[in-house]
Homo-oligomer: A and B are copies of this chain.
Amino acid sequence: MTFTESLAAAWKTNDSLLCVGLDPDPAKFPAHLKDAPDAIFRFCSEIADATADLACAFKPQIAYFAARRAEDQLEALIAHIHERHPGVPVILDAKRGDIGSTAEQYAIEAFERYRADAVTVNPYMGRDSVEPWLAYKDKGVILLCRTSNPGGSDLQFQKVGAGETAIFELVARLVADDWNTTGQCALVVGATFPGEIARVREIVGEMPLLVPGIGAQGGDIEATVMAGKTAAGTGLMINSSRAILYAGKGEDYAAAARKVALETRDAINRWR
């Protein structure tokens, strides 16, 4: 099954547009886990087990693993999710971007080593930097378009051409009209800018959008769903990381995470 197909199946089976972001920060772990040698794996896999029937995707952020020499735990985590929760695809949030020969190496890292179903990619280096990812036909390639951080505007909001198209709109158009020949692409559009989610949806038709920025980053769920959903009421992977991961501070953290994930899924579904 391709990433696009398994995402569509998860939207339906779990009745969910919620993507659970796995950004494991050991400083925030419950006390009983802090000194375990595989604390990162245990924390993330227990969160995954507690939320798998509520999510359309999991999104581990590789920086949190790499900062702590925990590549082996990331491999184990993705293998665990594939084995226990085969219906929920895994997006490796890596935001890679490099020339073709190097992008081939990064694609080996993401798709062959970690066995991710999809990856986030930076579009700044253009089409040939994206092609090595697209060579993996069953994988998803999720390009940064409009990011949820304040500095996102520095480049992405610059107007090009006759002055009516912003860079993020140009990226949406390039991906939709030119790069996405195989139907593997998706875009990252931050929840902090609902008007821009609507604009991107208008440009890209049914293409899935990964939307970070609800929860800790302050984006509004109603506005996000209304702006971004497709006619079928899907098309979105709305990511929440910290609000779910750190909902509880004690031994029952996974149950607390499940509770917030359920509330978030349902809050999203109210507007579909």
Contact = CB atoms under 8 A, between A and B. Distances in A.
Copy total for this chain = 2
Contact of A64 (B95, B100, B105, B147): B105
B158 A167 contact: yes
Interface string A139-160: 0000010011111111110111
A77 B63 CA distance: 21
A267 B61 CA distance: 43
A129 B149 contact: yes
A66 B106 contact: yes
A61 B128 contact: no
Nearest to A127: B151
Contacts of A63: 96, 98, 102-103, 105-106, 109
A99 B217 CA distance: 11
Nearest to A130: B151
B126 A124 contact: no
A243 interface: no
B125 A147 contact: yes
A124 B67 contact: no
A96 to B, nearest CB: 7
Interface string A81-104: 000000000000001111111110
Interface residues of A, number: 52
B113 A156 contact: no
A158 B163 CA distance: 11
B154 A126 contact: yes
A15 interface: no
Contact of A149 (B23, B128, B170, B171): B128
A60 B145 CA distance: 28
Contact of A106 (B67, B150, B154): B67
B155 A124 contact: yes
A214 to B, nearest CB: 14
A149 B97 CA distance: 12
Contact of A151 (B69, B112, B126): B126
A160 B106 CA distance: 31
A266 interface: no
A110 to B, nearest CB: 9
Nearest to A170: B158
A66 B159 contact: no
Contacts of A160: 158-160, 167
Given A123-B154, A129-B147, A129-B149, 6 more contacts: A63-B105, A66-B105, A122-B124, A126-B147, A128-B150, A128-B151
